A and B are shown apart, each in its own frame.
Chain A
Amino acid sequence: MAEALATVARLDGLGMITIRADLSRSGDAIAEAAGLAIPDATRISTDGSRSLGWMSPDELLLILPAQETPDAIAALEQALAAEHALIADVSDARAVFEVIGDHASDVIAKLSPAHLDALPQDGLRRSRAAQTAAAFWRVDGGFRLIGFRSTADYLDLVLQSAACPGSGLAPR
């Protein structure tokens, strides 16, 4: 039996913070509090343990080790105290997967209409995975994909199924 196109694994231990603010006004304050540069539209900036993803023109997602979440929220709230902004802990609302392997992009290409060739190394694509909302970006050897907690089992099912051994997208 051939190998799966990629290994699909659920990842625990990540904190996530939604930040809504006027990025042109509050960008510097956010960057300082988050410890990361503000990403350009549809990009994600990262320093290894933390990532800051562009979700919409007035929304960022800070992804960090779970234990750092409370302090990061406090830092952000303090930094944005004088601004109109919304900061929400969404760590528990998400499910995170890693899709790692030589053919990881085949797995994503079976579930999302996103144009993967056009996804830069630091690109973050919000799209759908089969019938549920998802966002994904590149990591070493594949992709990291986030979806909603309630549909984690569904996501796992469709990702595993897309990674079915022998079902690579290369022409036969």
Chain B
Amino acid sequence: MLILTCPYCGLDAEETELHPGGEAHLKRVGPEGSDEEFEDYMFARKNAKGVHFERWRHAYGCGKWFLAARDTVTLQVYGTYRAQTHAPPQDIVDAIRKVRPDWQPDWSHAE
């Protein structure tokens, strides 16, 4: 039963007030994409052991989707941030590196 802070309301919401949405920072592949690209977008998920970026909706709250950087092993939450971004903001990256200096970002389309 996680607690995540909704970056829109600033409220600490517990898991029962949230709706999970799977891996974050996927890049949509439209009609022009190849079969391989589409497969990767539609089906291939990281299932990370450790640092993971995921989508959550404050469903029983403001209704907004937000993103969380979380450690799937220790349950540490490095931070939550608004969904309107293609890559985690620098303060989130810094928070992760503080705990895991060796961690390398691996999203494919960082700006």
Which A residues lie at the B interface, using CB under 8 A?
41-42, 55-57, 59, 113, 115, 125-128, 133
Contacts and interface: CB of A to CB of B under 8 A. Distances in A.
Interface of B: 8-12, 14, 16-17, 60-64
Contacts of B12: 115
A55 B67 CA distance: 19
A42 B11 contact: yes
B79 to A, nearest CB: 18
A126 B18 CA distance: 12
Nearest to B16: A113
- The SS class assigned to the B binding surface is loop
Contacts of B62: 55-57, 59, 126
- The SS class assigned to the A binding surface is strand
B61 A126 contact: yes
A60 to B, nearest CB: 12
A113 B11 CA distance: 12
Nearest to A57: B8
Contacts of B17: 113, 127-128
Given A57-B64, A126-B61, A127-B61, A113 B14 contact: yes
Nearest to B63: A56
Contacts of A115: 12
Given A128-B60, A133-B60, 18 more contacts: A41-B8, A41-B10, A42-B9, A42-B10, A42-B11, A55-B62, A55-B63, A56-B9, A56-B62, A56-B64, A57-B64, A59-B62, A115-B12, A126-B9, A126-B60, A126-B62, A127-B61, A128-B16
Contacts of B63: 55-56, 59
B8 A56 contact: yes
Contacts of B8: 41, 56-57
